[in-house]
Structure 1
């Protein structure tokens, strides 16, 4: 394999390792290369970052290498963290979240049966926001993924357990059930 491909893979591994970083030993094992080559790849990347107008750099701390931002740009990162982020969820995401909260664990197709529309994007949004998570697989054909609310869901809505969700009246039909749940979640979303 060409050195530039190995360098690109190393860069990707540094990025993917995030805050944990990566060691030379891990690079050697993952890429099946010698220690000398792993060290050489890191040094080349460090050189590239230092000698180009790049926003990243590689640091070493306790034998672990990290891809990080350059300190001279810190004022911009501070502004990014201080800028208010939109935390509003779409109506579709709120509906999907309500369905999952009251019917968990539940598959994507079961969610879609209740909503009557494709819910892929809503499920992806909720997973990305860590409000729902995979809760195993359902027995049967295809073994579809089951979804349930997460600890972050409880924290986000100020609940200590799922049992604190407001009870739904027994005589509600599905449309009313969704409206009640949507009302609860939209009120909670507005508060956060």
Structure 2
């Protein structure tokens, strides 16, 4: 509700408190316009309140931070407390992705949109099982079809950005120096796909099928 009269705007302390109350209940990032609608104040005031709170938490060394990632605002515990949280709450309770899934997710993240066959070509194994796992976890999603082969293309999701703590894919770190540039890798993939069928059979069954047992 961006047309609220400035004279009707709540005091900064009340606005900050309202933002905190809403974000404490959030299970996913909340966009600024959605917060503004709930608080019935102009969007720019909510944006400023969130930035004020984020700066306040940083300046006072709180154990949590307010960050804008995945298209909205959400509280995060600070990285320096990861070991403490892992020991107390998370250890043994979180289902981690396997190395195979992480590698597959990385290929999709850097070369998206990309077909399953091309991911298989990069990794040298059939990735059907791993891609199903990544889809089930909401980390990747289908995004149309390749014009030439009609193969389904995959991209990462907003949830992937949220879990990575990124605002956009532009914030992905550069590929390691010993790895080929993404464009070079894509060119190599193109040459490989010309030889291999776009949708591989299960000939090289995925060591990654062990993914099915991690749910």
Output the TM-score relative to the length of structure 2.
Answer: 0.40
Higher helix share: 1
- Whichever of the two has the greater Rg, that structure is 1
Output the TM-score relative to the length of structure 1.
Answer: 0.44
